[in-house]
Amino acid sequence: MATCCINPSILSADFANLEAELRRIGNADAVHVDVMDNHFVPNLTLGLPVVARLQEVSPVPLDAHLMINDADRWAPAYAEAGVASVTFHAEASIAPIKLARELRARGAKAGMALRPGSAVEPYLDMLGELDMLLIMTVEPGFGGQAFLDLTLPKIRRARAAIDASGLQVALQVDGGITEDTIRRAADAGANVFVAGSAVYGAEDPGEAIERLRAAGQR
């Protein structure tokens, strides 16, 4: 498993030119697609038809982050659309183990996300059902927020549990990732980093990705 994967978030991209924006990050490990439903979080972004079309034109795999209610009902369709990874929120799933198995059965990696205030301990027994655990380092729903250092102890606890399990589960962080904060998150044990404005706010997103990757590997 790579020690430092950079997944730029298209929440910070130009929505009028998403295909072109995807081509600007061809050196990324994946592209993070934020799906928001105006219920689980206040904002409304992309839905299944747009994600399915992005899947057809993206030069890198899609990492779909579903910030939506009733994930048990809606998440499997994103796996069926062919995206590489589908992450649902534990807070939005009634049967997370069943859902993770359904995602894998449909050919996608299964990820589960936790809000900053949600404890990781209740979900550690299901690590074997997951390919990725996402620790939100900001409150979900808005781009451009500052990194919450209070999440670092939770990242450390998650890393310790993953290492103790011997499983190959990626530990992703999402929110406020910059060349500075990526070092703190990496030191805590994260190895997959979602970056929005730090990539798409740069003059050259490809160079920004390489700088983040170098910072996260130090």
Annotated active-site positions, please?
Answer: 34, 174
DSSP H or E segment with residue 102:
helix 96-105
Six token digits for residue 97: 């183990």
Listing from the earlier edge strand, what are the strands of the sheet with 192-195?
5-8, 192-195, 170-174, 132-136, 109-114, 85-89, 62-67, 31-36
- Cα–Cα distance for residue pair 50/47, rounded to 1 Å: 6
Answer for the pair 68, 44: CB distance below 8 angstroms, yes or no: no
CB neighbourhood size of 197 (10 A): 18
State the angle between helix axes of 96-105 and 71-80 in degrees (0 to 180), rounded to the nearest 10: 10
- Cα–Cα distance for residue pair 86/2, rounded to 1 Å: 19
- For the chain, first and last CA: distance in Å? 17
